[in-house]
């Protein structure tokens, strides 16, 4: 006869194995994709990638203009997304928590998360490109912000609403205003969660192509002016990867590798800076 | 630290008020590599940057109509009435061809011969095996395998599809009535690959597959291509010379608005599925200096860009056609009644 | 369980102290804080409202853009599978079906995987390995979607065709039940493989946030459960998951949303036929892939309008799916 204890132990054992399998599957998918990235991209990396602009097929060149463009537009987009996203997420978690309006905003935010990036690109095109008769990096950054903000909002709200009420009560009891409590206590305690929100947003927009095609267009040459079309890694990758030329395809894989490495780097740096302390 | 970061971004934003902008154009994917090559050399020589981005022929037409770019580019020429309605002028720049590619074990490139009508029947799904009598009739002595035909077409809209379907509609009446010609059609059968790349990949991965790609892709991927029967009944291989022959024997002088499809041209050496790619500009320019820069660039492309185009598997226009077009510019692109630029 | 009631964050305690007053004079706070309070609260509310306005703007502009198509085809737009740019007859049934099938299928695959990964990282993983593995999983999120698409096309599709589709096609007769479910050209470009790619794409988001949620559970709660003699499985099932349930729902919404709108990765591998998919291994299309494929080249106004109408329909679908999910969860008292 199987005792209840034995059955519980067995269930636990099965569960542990399943978790291990799940992790193994996730990691092996990562390994396979990284393997493809590395094997195709690593061979093409040289100093020129960072010092020369994108070439025509058959000419030597690098990805400098695309890298700089991506940096500029992603940073600008993330700044906008973080400001609006964290404030909105805070509102949802703190001020608007039980209200009907809060429910509406939360619901609409979820809908915005699933917006196909191409449609957001079209919307920003109608807003910032067509009326001004020109593609620009501003429009590109705004389109990226549109994509990152809902993720930041969602994650911020989830994290903040799980901060213990005791923290808030303690702050209020000491005479602090609500805003102070939120800013100095709750945000601080949710630091790593907010960081994750930002990192997820950044990961989302770092590889987005479609919205940039309609807003910042892309640029064969180096351009750091926000009011002009600007190159970016995803658009360059898109153009080069689907071409017929070997050297362009190789540059595309190098670009893809750069994006993946950048996300990894920012992940690690972010966590180190936030000094992820074990909650006790 | 966050504050300094924001300040840096802000500073960059404010500093972005510098003067002269590059010329910008957008549109067809097909000529993007050669325009990039020309632009690179042109910038090295003159310091002027011409930024061309491939967003699709439809995109090129939309953007020039929205005046967000200095010129648009399209693989599909606009009909004269459309041009007139929009106040646009179009001229071709380079020529290329669409090539049927296949995955047949034991068959060499150019060994299989096809006609336009037969190609249409294959893509209609009427001919389903490689050793079918219709194909064998044109290919005596060729060891056609007993494999089912898997059709691969484009899933995305494209000028390549436009050329291909237009050709099929010309040669196969059933295709014309059932499917028609456009950059995106309702394909009766087969798989959709994204881009020339996707079609190439599917054809490579599936034994017995047949698809169609731009010449550059067929050449770079060493694909097994078919020889096609042209208007004069000869079977030709897809080569730069064959595309050039098609362009050379076309009635350019008799084409109002430069609306011309280079399909099924009469020359004995012509490749039947050839096409040119076009530039769209406004007839009446608000910024004559900008327009002059665009024309200067394409004049440079005509005069000095042939070798570069050939190196990328494109076919330059015949010299007489180029001369004709350059003469057209003075009367077609003007600002305040005066030509924007007179080409040499 | 009792643990929830004690530890769950409760806002009412200080909420009530603010309820009767306006923010100009929070009880006991020094006067200088009042304006700061108002400004901050306003800023937060403004951000939230801005979000709402942005979404409203997108939806309205899509609706206006799609109006010609809706007028031309009426309700038939939703049920017709014809998509013919030459005769200018468009019907959205194929892309709609493809979108729903791929999204739910990918969620079905990704949810258990994400749960497993995050539970592993929080409960079973040796602490030294925990951070590297967490970063590795999040790295999946940072890979550009076009790379997923290309990997799917050049690596997954051929492998799938050779090792899964061909054996099934050879072992099962086409008329059998299994044969019918898994019918389709054996080239690996179908709804199922597209769903697999989608699952790998949404997995890292869900796993990362699950992990963060699990980490917010106070150690005292978990220790209390362990102290009572629970196995790790029981702790997870009966204590941790109920504690973070609301957040988990949010994460699932996030994942589903991502899956519904993903473009690049799906476009390369779904086969892109606009007809209604007849089997799991049949090629299909999603709304996002159709728009991505055809928008750049669409010149006719009706074609453009039909594509924008598709985009609008995607928003409607998302609305409905999320609303239904919320309704069901409210019924289950979550």
Among B209, B234, B249, which residue terminates a domain? B249
Euclidean distance between CA atoms A235 and A12, whole angstroms = 48
Distance between A57 CA and the closest CA of chain B, angstroms = 6
SS3 per-residue string spanning A195-217: HHHHHHHHHHHHCCCHHHHHHCC
Q: Where are the alpha helices (DSSP H) in chain C?
A: 2-7, 12-19, 33-73, 76-79, 93-119, 127-142, 145-151, 157-160, 166-171, 177-181, 191-215, 219-227, 232-235, 241-261, 264-269, 287-294, 301-331
Instruction: Indicate whether B195 pLDDT > 80.
Output: yes
Kind and range of the H or E run holding B58: helix B57-66
Residue of chain C minimizing CA distance to A96: C45
SS3 per-residue string spanning C242-295: HHHHHHHHHHHHHHHHHHHHCCHHHHHHCECCCCCCCCCCCCECCHHHHHHHHC
- In contact, C123 and C211? CB cutoff 8 Å: no
In-domain check, residue B11: yes
Residue with tokens 């309704």: C327
* Inter-chain residue contact C293 with B55, CB threshold 8 Å: no
Residues B70 and B169 in one domain: no
Instruction: Indicate whether C262 pLDDT > 80.
Output: yes
Euclidean distance between CA atoms A162 and A142, whole angstroms = 30
Residue of chain B minimizing CA distance to C273: B192
In-domain check, residue B259: no
Residues in chain A closer than 8 A to C200 (CB atoms): 29, 33
Distance between A181 CA and the closest CA of chain C, angstroms = 10
In-domain check, residue B267: no
| Overall residue count recorded for chain C in this entry | 334
Residue B298 maps to which CATH number? 3.40.190.10
Q: What angle do CA C159, C163, C169 make, to 5 degrees?
A: 125
In this prediction the ipTM stands at 0.77
Among B218, B249, B280, which residue terminates a domain? B249
The pLDDT value given to residue C13: 47
Backbone angles phi and psi of B318, in degrees to 5:
-60, 150
* Inter-chain residue contact C87 with B180, CB threshold 8 Å: yes
What residues pair up with B263 in beta bridges, in sequence order? B273
Buried b (16+ CB within 10 A) or exposed e, B79-95: eeeebeeeebbbbbbbb
* Inter-chain residue contact A105 with C48, CB threshold 8 Å: yes
The pLDDT value given to residue B10: 55
Interface test with B, best of A139, A145, A195, A225 (most B CBs within 10 A): A225
Interface test with B, best of C82, C286, C299, C303 (most B CBs within 10 A): C299
Tell me which of B37 and C164 has the higher pLDDT.
B37
Residues B67 and B114 in one domain: no
Q: Which of C270, C252, C308, C316 is nearest to C101 (CA)?
A: C270
Euclidean distance between CA atoms C288 and C273, whole angstroms = 13
Measured between CB atoms, does A126 come within 8 Å of chain C? yes
Among B249, B281, B297, which residue terminates a domain? B249
Tell me which of C28 and C144 has the higher pLDDT.
C144
Among C117, C124, C253, the residue with its CB nearest the CB of A110 is: C253
The pLDDT value given to residue C30: 52
Residue of chain C minimizing CA distance to B176: C86
Q: Which of A231, A267, A271, A230 is nearest to A251 (CA)?
A: A231
Q: What is the tens place of the pLDDT at every residue in C45-70?
A: 899 899 889 888 988 988 998 899 88
- In contact, B178 and B62? CB cutoff 8 Å: no
Terminal C-alpha separation, chain B: 58
Count up the domains in chain B and report the number: 2
Kind and range of the H or E run holding B117: helix B116-124
Backbone angles phi and psi of A174, in degrees to 5:
-80, 0
The CB-side HSE value for C226 (13 A sphere, CA atoms) comes to 8
Instruction: Please tell me whether residue B286 adopts helix, strand or coil conformation.
Output: coil
Residue of chain B minimizing CA distance to A224: B16
Residues B196 and B82 in one domain: no
* Inter-chain residue contact B6 with A79, CB threshold 8 Å: yes
Residues in chain A closer than 8 A to B99 (CB atoms): none
Any chains having at least 3 CB pairs less than 8 A from chain B are A, C
Instruction: Please give the structure tokens belonging to residue C307.
Output: 């594509």
- In contact, B333 and B295? CB cutoff 8 Å: yes
The pLDDT value given to residue C166: 74
Residues B115 and B237 in one domain: yes
Q: What is the pTM of this model?
A: 0.80
Euclidean distance between CA atoms C250 and C258, whole angstroms = 12
Q: What band does C4 get if pLDDT is binned at 50, 70 and 90? A: very low
Instruction: Please give the structure tokens belonging to residue A184.
Output: 């100095």
Tell me which of B17 and A240 has the higher pLDDT.
A240
Among C86, C272, C296, the residue with its CB nearest the CB of B179 is: C86
Instruction: Indicate whether C247 pLDDT > 50.
Output: yes
Instruction: Indicate whether C16 pLDDT > 50.
Output: no
In-domain check, residue B91: yes
Tell me how many residue pairs between chain A and chain B have CB atoms under 8 A apart.
110
Longest CA span, chain A: 80
Euclidean distance between CA atoms C43 and C49, whole angstroms = 10
Q: Which of B29, B30, B48 is nearest to B39 (CA)?
A: B48
Burial class of residue C275 in the structure, from the number of CB atoms within 10 Å of its CB (0-12 exposed, 13-18 middle, 19+ buried): middle
* Inter-chain residue contact A84 with C244, CB threshold 8 Å: no
- What is the average pLDDT across C190-217? 88
Distance between B36 CA and the closest CA of chain A, angstroms = 5
Q: What is the tens place of the pLDDT at every residue in B35-55?
A: 999 999 999 999 888 999 888
Distance between A18 CA and the closest CA of chain B, angstroms = 35
The pLDDT value given to residue A83: 93
Residue with tokens 């399943």: A18
Residues in chain C closer than 8 A to A177 (CB atoms): 26, 29, 33-34, 36-37
The answer for A 168-207 residues in CB contact with C (under 8 A) is 168-169, 172, 175-180, 182-183, 192-193, 196, 199-200, 203-204, 206-207
In-domain check, residue B334: yes
For residue B1, give every residue at least 6 positions away whose Cβ sits within 8 Å of its Cβ, in sequence order, or none. Answer: none
Instruction: Please give the structure tokens belonging to residue B210.
Output: 């047949």
Distances (CA, A) of B109 to B5, B99, B197, B237, B316: 58, 11, 19, 9, 24
Q: What band does B20 get if pLDDT is binned at 50, 70 and 90? A: very low
Least confident segment among A108-112, C40-44, C253-257: C253-257
Measured CB to CB, residues of chain B less than 8 Å from chain A are 5-6, 9, 12-13, 16-18, 21-22, 24, 26, 32-33, 36-41, 43, 49, 51-55, 66-69, 194-198, 214, 216-217, 219-221, 311-313
Q: Which of B188, B195, B249 is nearest to B217 (CA)?
A: B195
Which residue range is the domain that position B85 belongs to? 3-97+272-339
Distance between C36 CA and the closest CA of chain B, angstroms = 19
* Inter-chain residue contact B179 with C85, CB threshold 8 Å: no
- Helix A64-90 and helix A233-241, axial crossing angle in degrees, nearest 10: 130
Kind and range of the H or E run holding A173: helix A165-173
Residues in chain B closer than 8 A to C297 (CB atoms): 56-59, 156-159, 183-184
* Inter-chain residue contact C263 with A268, CB threshold 8 Å: no
Buried b (16+ CB within 10 A) or exposed e, C155-190: ebbbebbeebbeebbeebeeeeeeeeebbbbbbbbb
Residues B159 and B276 in one domain: no
The pLDDT value given to residue B19: 36
The pLDDT value given to residue B2: 53
Instruction: Please give the structure tokens belonging to residue C39.
Output: 């400004």
| Overall residue count recorded for chain B in this entry | 344
Euclidean distance between CA atoms C45 and A91, whole angstroms = 6
Is the Cα dihedral C86, C87, C89, C94 positive or negative?
Answer: negative
Rounded to the nearest integer, the mean pLDDT of chain C is 80
Distances (CA, A) of C43 to A78, C38, C261: 18, 8, 30
- In contact, A235 and A212? CB cutoff 8 Å: yes
Eight-class DSSP state of B214: E
- What is the average pLDDT across B252-262? 85
What residues pair up with C25 in beta bridges, in sequence order? none
Tell me which of C142 and A86 has the higher pLDDT.
A86
The pLDDT value given to residue B331: 86
* Inter-chain residue contact B24 with A229, CB threshold 8 Å: yes
Residues B12 and B114 in one domain: no
Residues B30 and B80 in one domain: yes
Distance between C46 CA and the closest CA of chain B, angstroms = 21
The pLDDT value given to residue C22: 42
Kind and range of the H or E run holding B66: helix B57-66
Averaging pLDDT over each range in A272-276, B278-282, B326-330, which range is the top one?
B278-282
Eight-class DSSP state of B199: H
Residues B105 and B243 in one domain: yes
Q: What band does C331 get if pLDDT is binned at 50, 70 and 90? A: low
Interface test with B, best of A55, A57, A86 (most B CBs within 10 A): A57
In-domain check, residue B266: no
Euclidean distance between CA atoms C265 and C277, whole angstroms = 19
| β-pairing verdict for B88-102 and B150-154 | unpaired
* Inter-chain residue contact B183 with C297, CB threshold 8 Å: yes
* Inter-chain residue contact C291 with A118, CB threshold 8 Å: yes
Tell me which of A174 and C168 has the higher pLDDT.
A174
The pLDDT value given to residue C332: 54
Euclidean distance between CA atoms A57 and A84, whole angstroms = 41
Residues B280 and B332 in one domain: yes
CA dihedral A49, A52, A56, A59 (to 10 degrees): -80
Residues in chain B closer than 8 A to C294 (CB atoms): 156-157, 184
Instruction: Indicate whether B166 pLDDT > 90.
Output: yes
Euclidean distance between CA atoms B184 and A211, whole angstroms = 22
In-domain check, residue B263: no
Residue of chain C minimizing CA distance to B158: C297
Backbone torsion region of residue C184, taken as left when φ is above 0, otherwise alpha when ψ lies between -120 and 50, otherwise beta? left
Interface test with C, best of A19, A201, A262 (most C CBs within 10 A): A19
Among A25, A104, A264, the residue with its CB nearest the CB of C139 is: A264
Which regions of B146-273 does DSSP assign to beta strands (E)?
Answer: 150-154, 191-193, 209-214, 224-225, 227-229, 235-236
Residue of chain B minimizing CA distance to A73: B9
The pLDDT value given to residue C31: 54
Buried b (16+ CB within 10 A) or exposed e, B309-333: beebbbbbbbeebbeebbeebeebb
* Inter-chain residue contact A79 with B66, CB threshold 8 Å: no
Tell me which of A125 and C141 has the higher pLDDT.
A125
Chain centroid, CA A147 distance in Å: 9
Residue of chain B minimizing CA distance to C298: B58
Measured between CB atoms, does C27 come within 8 Å of chain B? no
Measured between CB atoms, does C296 come within 8 Å of chain B? yes
Residue of chain A minimizing CA distance to B219: A244
Measured between CB atoms, does C166 come within 8 Å of chain B? no
In-domain check, residue B261: no
Residues B214 and B281 in one domain: no
* Inter-chain residue contact B157 with C187, CB threshold 8 Å: no
Among A16, A90, A169, the residue with its CB nearest the CB of C14 is: A169
Residues B90 and B123 in one domain: no
Rounded to the nearest integer, the mean pLDDT of chain B is 87
Distance between A78 CA and the closest CA of chain B, angstroms = 11
Q: What is the tens place of the pLDDT at every residue in B207-242?
A: 889 999 999 889 888 889 999 999 999 999 999 889
| Tens digits of pLDDT across chain A (280 residues) | 678 888 888 988 999 999 999 989 888 988 888 888 888 888 888 888 888 888 888 888 889 999 999 999 999 999 999 999 999 999 998 888 888 888 889 888 888 887 778 888 888 988 888 888 888 999 999 999 999 999 899 888 888 888 888 888 888 888 888 888 888 888 888 888 888 788 878 888 888 888 898 898 888 888 888 888 899 998 888 888 877 788 888 888 898 888 888 888 887 777 777 655 434 3
Residues B33 and B65 in one domain: yes
* Inter-chain residue contact C208 with A260, CB threshold 8 Å: no
Euclidean distance between CA atoms B288 and C291, whole angstroms = 36
């Amino acid at each position: 006869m199987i005792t209840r204890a034995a059955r519980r132990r067995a269930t636990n054992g099965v569960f542990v194995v399943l978790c291990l399998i799940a992790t193994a599957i996730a990691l092996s998918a990562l390994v396979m994709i990284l393997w493809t990235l590395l094997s195709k991209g690593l061979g093409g990396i040289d100093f020129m990638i960072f010092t020369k602009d994108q070439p025509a097929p058959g000419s030597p060149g690098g990805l400098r203009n695309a890298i700089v463009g991506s940096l500029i537009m992603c940073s600008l987009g993330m700044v906008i997304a973080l400001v609006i996203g964290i404030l909105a997420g805070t509102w949802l978690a703190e001020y608007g928590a039980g209200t009907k309006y809060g429910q509406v905003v939360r619901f609409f935010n979820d809908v915005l998360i699933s917006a196909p990036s191409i449609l957001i690109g079209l919307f920003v095109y109608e807003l910032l490109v067509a009326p001004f008769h020109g593609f620009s990096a501003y429009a590109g950054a705004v389109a990226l912000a549109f994509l990152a903000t809902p993720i930041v909002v969602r994650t911020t709200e989830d994290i903040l609403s799980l901060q213990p009420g005791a923290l808030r009560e303690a702050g209020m009891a000491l005479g602090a205003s609500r805003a102070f409590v939120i800013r100095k206590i709750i945000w601080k305690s949710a630091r790593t969660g907010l960081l994750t929100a930002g990192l997820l947003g950044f990961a989302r927009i770092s590889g987005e192509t479609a919205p940039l095609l309609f807003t910042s267009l892309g640029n064969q040459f180096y351009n750091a002016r926000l009011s002009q079309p600007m190159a970016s890694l995803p658009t360059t990758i898109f153009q080069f990867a689907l071409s017929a030329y070997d050297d362009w395809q190789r540059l595309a894989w190098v670009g893809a590798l750069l994006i993946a490495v950048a996300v990894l780097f920012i992940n690690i740096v972010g966590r180190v800076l936030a000094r992820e302390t074990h909650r006790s | 630290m966050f504050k300094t970061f924001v300040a840096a971004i802000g500073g960059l934003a404010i500093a972005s008020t510098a003067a002269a902008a590059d010329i910008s154009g957008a549109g067809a994917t097909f000529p993007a590599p050669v325009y990039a090559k020309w632009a690179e050399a042109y910038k090295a020589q003159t310091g002027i940057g011409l930024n061309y981005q491939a967003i699709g022929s439809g995109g090129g037409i939309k953007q020039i109509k929205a005046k967000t770019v200095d010129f648009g580019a399209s693989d599909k020429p606009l009909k004269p009435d459309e041009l007139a309605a929009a106040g646009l002028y179009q001229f071709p720049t380079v020529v290329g061809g669409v090539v049927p590619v296949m995955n047949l074990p034991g068959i060499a490139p150019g060994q299989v011969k096809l006609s336009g009508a037969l190609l249409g029947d294959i893509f209609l799904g009427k001919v389903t095996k490689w050793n079918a009598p219709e194909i064998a009739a044109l290919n005596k002595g060729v060891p056609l395998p007993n494999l089912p035909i898997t059709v691969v077409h484009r899933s995305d809209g494209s000028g390549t599809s436009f050329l291909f379907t237009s050709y099929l509609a010309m040669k196969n009446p059933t295709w014309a009535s059932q499917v028609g010609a456009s950059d995106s059609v309702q394909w009766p059968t087969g798989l959709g690959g994204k881009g020339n790349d996707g079609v190439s990949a599917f054809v490579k991965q599936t034994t017995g597959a047949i698809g169609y790609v731009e010449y550059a892709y067929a050449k770079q991927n060493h694909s097994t291509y078919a020889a096609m029967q042209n208007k004069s009944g000869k079977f030709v291989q897809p080569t730069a010379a064959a595309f050039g022959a098609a362009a050379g024997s076309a009635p350019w002088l008799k084409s109002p608005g430069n609306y011309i499809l280079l399909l099924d041209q009469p020359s004995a050496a012509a490749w039947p599925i050839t096409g040119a790619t076009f530039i769209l500009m406004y007839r009446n320019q608000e910024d004559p200096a900008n327009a002059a820069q665009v024309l200067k660039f394409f004049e440079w492309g005509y005069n000095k860009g042939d070798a570069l185009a050939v190196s990328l598997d494109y076919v330059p226009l015949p010299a007489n056609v180029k001369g004709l077009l350059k003469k057209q510019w003075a009367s077609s692109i003007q600002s305040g009644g005066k030509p924007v630029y007179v080409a040499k | 369980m009792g643990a929830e009631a004690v530890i769950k964050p409760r806002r009412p305690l200080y909420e009530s102290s603010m309820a009767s007053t306006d923010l100009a004079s929070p009880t006991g706070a020094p006067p200088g804080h009042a304006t700061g309070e108002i400004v901050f609260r306003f800023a937060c509310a403004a951000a939230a409202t801005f979000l709402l306005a942005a979404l409203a703007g997108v939806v309205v502009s899509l609706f206006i853009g799609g109006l010609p198509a809706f007028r031309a085809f009426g309700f038939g737009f939703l049920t017709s599978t014809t998509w013919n740019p030459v005769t200018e007859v468009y019907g959205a049934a194929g892309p709609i079906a493809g979108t729903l099938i791929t999204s739910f299928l990918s969620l079905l695959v990704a949810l258990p995987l994400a749960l497993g990964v995050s539970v592993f990282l929080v409960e079973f993983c040796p602490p030294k390995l925990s951070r590297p593995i967490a970063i590795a999983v999040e790295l999946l999120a940072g890979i550009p979607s076009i790379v997923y698409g290309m990997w799917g096309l050049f690596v997954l599709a051929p492998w799938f065709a050779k090792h899964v589709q061909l054996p099934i096609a050879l072992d099962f007769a086409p008329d059998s039940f299994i044969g019918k479910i898994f019918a389709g050209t054996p080239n690996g470009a179908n709804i199922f493989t597209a769903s697999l790619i989608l699952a790998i794409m949404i997995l890292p988001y869900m796993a990362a946030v699950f992990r963060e949620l699990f980490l917010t559970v106070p150690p005292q709660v978990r220790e209390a459960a362990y102290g009572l003699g629970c196995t790790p499985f029981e702790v997870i099932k009966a204590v941790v998951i109920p504690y973070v349930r609301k957040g988990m729902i949010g994460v699932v919404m996030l994942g589903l949303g991502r899956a519904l709108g993903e473009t690049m990765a799906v476009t390369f591998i779904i086969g892109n036929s606009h007809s209604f998919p007849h089997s799991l291994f049949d090629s299909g299309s999603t709304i996002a892939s159709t728009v991505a494929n055809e928008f750049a080249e669409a010149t006719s106004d009706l074609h453009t309008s039909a594509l924008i109408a598709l985009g609008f329909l995607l928003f409607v679908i998302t609305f409905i799916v999320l609303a239904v999910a919320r309704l069901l969860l409210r019924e289950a008292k979550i």
